[in-house]
Amino acid sequence: DLILPIFIMDGKNKRQSIKNLPGVYRYSIDKLPLILDKAVKNKIPMVALFPYTKSNIKDYNGTEALNEDNLICKALRFIKSKYKNEIGIMCDVALDPYTSHGHDGLLIKGKIQNDETIEILVKQSLLQAEMGCDVIAPSDMMDGRIVIIRKALDKNNFKDVQILSYAAKYASSFYGPFREAVGS
């Protein structure tokens, strides 16, 4: 089954083209029905949300990832209120859209801090589940995060929220357009 990626941005009444992904756009939340109505009509079972976070709210620790009014949380609430369970929602779990340095993890003296990052990813996963996410999709590549996220979801009564982990990322020209789309 197709999972349709949707890139979201702040603002109102916006649909912005993505230079390196011809025919693909970023949408403000109020414009999501342009694509969601078509997805539901064509029986696409799930969308994957990716935020384009403004640089002025990114910081070294990616704190916007835990803001219950960030783009992902707003989009989750909007989609669940308008579409109920007509379409599933998958959300990326990682810090790169929110960090000023663009890495998926916390950095101390230039080194990624695995365990400290996982603590934040668990909180991000729980927040997304609380807002209505159906599938948590960690793409951060921190060691051991899946079992810790699963335990936290189960402990907080989100047993039906699934996890779909990205297995690998590559430094290639194929991944570059995606990085532009999310601004990382």
Write out the catalytic residue numbers.
169
Residue 77 corresponds to which tokens in the numbers above? Answer: 């609430």
Looking at 20-161, list the stretches that DSSP marks H as alpha helix, in order from N- to C-terminal side.
33-41, 71-83, 114-131, 145-155
- Strand 162-163 to strand 25-28: parallel, antiparallel, or no bridges (unpaired)? unpaired
C-alpha R_g of the chain: 16
CA distance 87 to 91: 13
Residue 150 corresponds to which tokens in the numbers above? Answer: 């699963």
Closest by CA to 122, choosing from 107, 108, 138, 134, is: 138
Buried b (16+ CB within 10 A) or exposed e, 142-164: beebbebbbebbeeeebeebebe
